[in-house]
Structure 1
Amino acid sequence: MSLHIWRVLDKAWNFKLLPIGFGFFSQIRQSYHLSFGCWLHIVSQDIQSHSTLSATYETKIQYLPLEESEIRLFILYPGSDEDAVSGRIEHSSWGFNSNKQYEALSYVWGDVRDSVAILVDGRTVSVTKSLETALRHLRYRDKPRTLWVDYVCINQEDIPERSKQVARMGLIYEQASSVLIWLGLATVNSGVGMEILRYFATEKRPQSCPVWQAYPQSLVHQGLLDVMNRPWFERMWVVQEVGRSHRAIFFCGRDCVQWSTSSIDVRRFIRMIKYAEILPQWTQLGLDTVNMRPLLEMLDFQDANSFSKPWGSCDRAAPDLLDLAYNLRYKKCSDPRDKIFGIWGMVDYLWHLEDFKVDYSMTVTQVYEEVARVSFSSHYG
């Protein structure tokens, strides 16, 4: 929640109030910050406490083999904040003829050593703290939620399966009803940043007094910086995950920003950001120091999926593997091979190369030698 009065002096005092928890075993508490100058701003901040599940008896997920036309889905059980995160895995037919509805999660894994326990099929299993926090916030209180989550829906220890599923990820995200983008917990500043993104995503045209001019300068700068500096925007995989989505939703704690990915809506979203960035007021507020490029890049790929498909057409050519890898070379991933595999689903002609597939048994050197081969082939320029 937020309440503000237009500032007269750009001076603020900030006090952190005592956390408020609902339920003795609640993992999520609310910490409130009070800021004031000649304006007043009250915000809530999520606080993550320890997992309610003991990690003493952790086991591994018991995976059954996947058929060629199957994917796994995670049925996230409903629960309140004090309940442990739990769900089950089920196999589902996959492809354009499947009528199974699911949402795909886009998030940062985080440090795999920083793990907590959840219940999967009644077994206590270890997942990254980042994933557990996302699932805790995204689950419904009164009904299950069907998700595709790479960490639990792919047997990460089965290299052939992992290779096949990663090669399909572009289509998995494209066929999802929504892509849920988990940016992390809310902070004292994130609410203003999310409100600015919501303005860009939902307004039909620029307003005479945009939301980023309605708050004190210090709040606007810190809020937008808080959201846009989230690690999610640095990841290689998110370009494909959002670029192929049909509907996307940012989540920052309980706060969300959603937009339709129709070509008209996405192009309007892009133009709203670009228009704001050329305004003198944007620079005067110091907002030109906030890097909006990662968001614009993903929206650009999302614009009509930004590439040709064999079952349709659009007014933009398919991207070349080398050009795409070069433009996104600054993106982060823990495995150097994922600099290539992470953009696989955006380069259509790779599907037709029987001798170059996503294969985690290949060494890093072999992967990049294949990039050189297909990029300099006479068939592809």
Structure 2
Amino acid sequence: IDLSHQQIRLFELTSTTGASHLEGVFHVVSLSTLPTYTALSYTWGDPARTKLIEIGGNGLAIPLNLWWFLHSWNSSKLEKTNIFWIDAICIDQTNILERNHQVRLMKKIYTNAAKVVVWLGQEADNSDVAMNFMATQGSAPLKRKGCGYKRLWTKDEGRALLALCDRAYWRRIWIIQEIIHAEKITVLCGKKSFEWKMLESLYGKLKTLELGSWLLHHDSAAGILSSSASVMVWQRAHWRHPETPKPHLNTLLEVFQDWQCSDIRDKVYGLLGMVDEETAVVVDYSKSVVELYEALRER
């Protein structure tokens, strides 16, 4: 890609449906003439666990969790689109200049995506039960029962939902700007999916129960309301509100200090797409952690 222009790579998955051998091709495009594409929001997982895919005849080792996403997508064909922006594939991770260039474009990449897919990982901890509940009953209204409300779910559904809302994905620093800048979000776990608005609806119902002191009458409800997933629902609504001013970088560093990343510099770089320009720093992976934090102090 030409680093003097706003160009990105898009990855087109070309494998036949259900194939275990995954392959695709790159398309280099300009941000001014973008085709329809899906941006992925996920967590890399253990960097030592990788699997090969083939791109243009060449092998590329990608995080195992990402391989499972591509395999799941290719098996289920939830959407017709097979064109993606995925950081581990579309950025040459060994090229510092390219990493700097592409990370600076992240806000535009996620804002311009036709959809952002949140990949929570493979089916586990009864997640299919939770995903089915969200897809079919996530937006169902609360129903009155006497002076309170009917139970939202069974005990098993509540436990499964809590496990889903507490997955490691929700505590990753990069997802903050990815979710906040996305226009449309689909949540995917295994081969099940639901739309983000279902999560917003569930959060609204839990807040209603909290106001009436009814949370304890619903298994796992208090845990779900305080989960990292619920925090992200609130954060997305807050930062996308037209009256919310762009925050100072120091404010965000404090708010999101407990969110996680494998490279400590990403505690800063992962938030730059949200801050006002006056308090921002320039993305530069050639700088050490000490140099970066010295630059923060000098602003």
TM-score range (shorter-chain normalised) is 0.7 to 0.9
1:196-345 alignment, distance < 5 Å: 196-198=133-135, 202-203=139-140, 205-208=141-144, 213=151, 215-217=153-155, 219-259=156-196, 270-278=203-211, 280-284=213-217, 285-290=219-224, 292-303=226-237, 305-306=239-240, 314-345=242-273
Does structure 1 residue 110 correspond to structure 2 residue 45? yes
Quote how far apart the aligned CAs of 1:368 are.
1.8
Q: Which runs of 5 or more residues in structure 1 are unaligned?
A: 1-63, 308-313, 375-381
CA distance 1:119–1:292, shift in 2 (3 Å)? farther
Change in Cα spacing, 1:80 to 1:100, as seen in structure 2 (3 Å) is closer
The 1:270–1:226 alpha-carbon spacing in structure 2 relative to 1, beyond 3 Å, is: closer
The Cα shift of 1:143 comes to 5.7
**Alignment partner, residue 30 of structure 2:** 93
Q: Given that residues 306 and 316 in structure 1 are in contact (C-alpha distance below 8 angstroms), is that contact kept between their aligned partners in structure 2?
A: yes
The answer to whether the Cα contact below 8 Å between 1:197 and 1:257 also exists between their aligned partners in 2 is: yes
**C-alpha separation in 2, matches of 1:141 and 1:252:** 12
Alpha-carbon separation, structure 1, partners of 2:125 and 2:233: 27
Paired residues, what number?
A: 294
TM-score by length of 2: 0.87
Shift of 1:156: 0.7
Q: CA deviation at 1:84?
A: 1.1
Q: Secondary structure at the match of 1:323?
A: helix
Moved more, 314-323 or 326-335: 314-323
- Distance apart, 1:75 and its partner CA: 0.4
The alpha carbon displacement at 1:131 in A equals 0.6
1:304 is displaced (CA, Å) by 7.4
- Alignment-mate amino acid for residue 275 of structure 1: T
Q: Distance in 1 between matches of 2:16 and 2:139?
A: 30
**Match in the other structure for 1:378:** none
SS at match of 1:202: coil
1:42-53 aligned at under 5 Å gives the runs: none
Contact 2:91 2:102 in 1 (8 A): yes
Cα offset, 1:185, TM superposition: 1.0
Query: Which aligned pairs between 1:50-199 and structure 2 lie closer than 5 A?
Result: 65-94=2-31, 97-139=32-74, 140=77, 145-187=82-124, 189-198=126-135
Offset at 1:268? Answer: 5.4
Identity %: 26
Alignment partner, residue 363 of structure 1: 288
Question: CA offsets per residue over residues 290-341 of structure 1, 9 Å max, x none?
Answer: 464422332334337537xxxxxx2111112111111111111011110010
1:339 and 1:330 mapped to 2: Cα distance? 9
- CA-based RMSD: 2.9
Task: Provide Cα deviations, 1:220-262, integer angstroms capped at 9, x if missing partner.
Answer: 33201220121101101001100110000110111111136xx
Shift in CA distance, 112/231, structure 1 to aligned 2, threshold 3 Å:
same
Match of 1:19 in 2: none
* Structure 2 counterpart SS, 1:213: coil
**1:130-172: CA deviation from partner (whole Å, max 9, x where unpaired):** 1100011123399661100000111111101101111211221
Q: Distance in 2 between matches of 1:138 and 1:278?
A: 39
Amino acid in the other structure paired with 1:358? V
CA distance in 2, matches of 1:248, 1:122: 32
Where does the alignment leave 5 or more consecutive residues of structure 2 unmatched?
A: none
Q: Which structure would you say has the larger RCO, counting Cα contacts within 8 Å and 6 or more residues apart?
A: 2
Cα deviation, 1:47-105, whole Å, max 9, x if unaligned, reads xxxxxxxxxxxxxxxxx5555121000001243334311111110111xx424111100
Which structure dedicates a bigger proportion of its chain to helix?
A: 2
